[in-house]
Amino acid sequence: MTKPSTKDLLVVEGLDKAFTLHLHGGLRLPVVSQVQFTVARGECVVLDGPSGVGKSSILKIVFGNYRPDAGRILLADGDRFLDIAGASPRAVISARRRIMGYVSQFLRVIPRVPAIDIVAAAAREGGLEPQAARARAASLLTRLNLSERLWRLPPATFSGGEQQRVNIARGFAGHHILLILDEPTASLDAENRDAVVELISERQASGTGFLAIFHDEDVRARLADRMIDVSAFSMSEAA
């Protein structure tokens, strides 16, 4: 096992994951094996490989959403490292509040809650006072070109691209030092993609590390400091 260095935000090593489907006769679906990579401060690491190869699963394991079968996921917590693989639920919850954020592919929220309230709630969780949280939400939604007339409306009726921008604003509302992005630009047009790329670059410059999946070639070319080919770790047939 390697010893993580002080510039590392995330060190993943020896990570295995398989799903056991008890409702289908205990069928075992191996996903990835012996995954290994690091993300340094201010670095944008992009997971690459064909669809079904296990990229999203790796993101979910890092965020604590999926349980790994083996391996370590060391997340920088001040001058210590927290192993998400073996951490208690409480430690993971705390890490999600303070250290790592996640932007999923699809927005999942309580119905009928206005877009700006969704983003402001995330900023509140990040420690801002109600007014500051609202201001931060407004500034993020403005930067992401979400029309102000939509702010007071719940996102359920928004277009895919509009929902995705609310989702991104929510993910960027806190002060996380590691952001995990699952295709945040998938349903965006060129102008809005630019806005997201800018937002990411800015946070990178201030030291935030990114672990991301981008399908868009242009976005990858502009943001990726390193690409990791997940096929090399994949146990699925897609590899």
Of 19 and 201, nearer to another protein (C-beta) is 19
- The distance of closest approach from Cβ of residue 129 to another protein in the complex, given in angstroms and rounded to an integer, is 12
Of 78 and 89, nearer to another protein (C-beta) is 89
Q: What is the CA radius of gyration of the chain?
A: 18
CA end-to-end span of the chain, whole Å? 26
Of 105 and 142, nearer to another protein (C-beta) is 105
- Measured at the alpha carbon of residue 68, what is the angle toward residues 65 and 72, in degrees to the nearest 5? 105
- The distance of closest approach from Cβ of residue 22 to another protein in the complex, given in angstroms and rounded to an integer, is 4
For binding to another protein (CB under 8 A), which residues are involved? 19, 21-23, 60, 64-67, 89-90, 92-93, 110-113, 121, 124-125
Of 66 and 151, nearer to another protein (C-beta) is 66
- The distance of closest approach from Cβ of residue 106 to another protein in the complex, given in angstroms and rounded to an integer, is 12
Position of tokens 């205990």?
26
- The distance of closest approach from Cβ of residue 97 to another protein in the complex, given in angstroms and rounded to an integer, is 10
Contact criterion met (CB below 8 Å) for 155 and 124:
no
Of 21 and 227, nearer to another protein (C-beta) is 21
- The distance of closest approach from Cβ of residue 85 to another protein in the complex, given in angstroms and rounded to an integer, is 12
